[in-house]
Structure 1
Amino acid sequence: MKMPDDEIRAIVAETLAEQHRLHQESIDAIVLKAVASVLASFGIEDDDRKEVRADFQHLRRWRKSVEQAQSYTFKAVITVIVTGLVGAVWLGVKVMLGK
């Protein structure tokens, strides 16, 4: 008894899909194990996830505040330089007009 081509295609497609799913599951397991191993080598265990996340959030807030402080410092330095130049020009103009 010969099977219809559609039925053969369906069986092959189902088999390939199952193989793909199993292959993907094994890849996911390997990647998860590798990441856990790398994190463990840095002293980060699975139970520390919340603390590690909080640490990264704190570092991000710290970095942003430092960047903001640098921005304000840069603006303050520019303001001082411009004010000094304007003051020097003003004094020059006063001296020239005073003669």
Structure 2
Amino acid sequence: MADISEDTIRAVVAETLGERQRIHNGDIEAVVDRAIATVLASFGIEEDDRRELRADFQHLRRWRKSVEQAQGFTFKAVISVIVAGFLGAVWLGIKVMLGK
């Protein structure tokens, strides 16, 4: 036992622990993949539908952004109408005052 150096023992232990960690990570990834597939299947989404699901989410994102943009334009239009009405009222008030 004297001919095995401490560095060799450390290397063997490190390699063994590293292999154990890789196996453990592989198990975790398999469990996570299986859990995700099960959840998606419970919603009626099969693994083959991933492209369609991605396209659906992209469509929903575009729809949401267009609605947000329309809301912004609507808000600007309402503010513009209010400001224009106020300025029109001020202008009519000035015209009436000067007309007297």
Q: TM-score range by the shorter chain?
A: over 0.9
1:42, distance to aligned residue in structure 2 (A): 0.4
| Count of aligned residue pairs for this structure pair | 99
Amino acid at match of 2:34: K
Aligned runs of 1:73-92 on 2, under 5 Å? 73-92=74-93
| Distance in 2 (alpha carbons) for counterparts of 1:7 and 1:96 | 102
Please list the CA deviations of residues 2-58 of structure 1 after superposition, one character each: whole Å capped at 9, or x if unmatched. 210000000010001001000000000000000000000000000000000110011
The alignment partner of 1:43 has SS state of coil
Mark the runs of 5 or more structure 1 residues left unpaired by the alignment: none
Mark the runs of 5 or more structure 2 residues left unpaired by the alignment: none
Give the TM-score taking structure 1 as reference length: 0.97
| Distance in 1 (alpha carbons) for counterparts of 2:99 and 2:10 | 101
Q: Which residue of 1 aligns with 2:28?
A: 27
1:95, distance to aligned residue in structure 2 (A): 1.1
RMSD between aligned alpha carbons? 0.7
1:97, distance to aligned residue in structure 2 (A): 1.4
Which stretches of structure 1, 4 residues or more, deviate above 2 A after TM superposition?
Answer: none
Aligned runs of 1:3-14 on 2, under 5 Å? 3-14=4-15
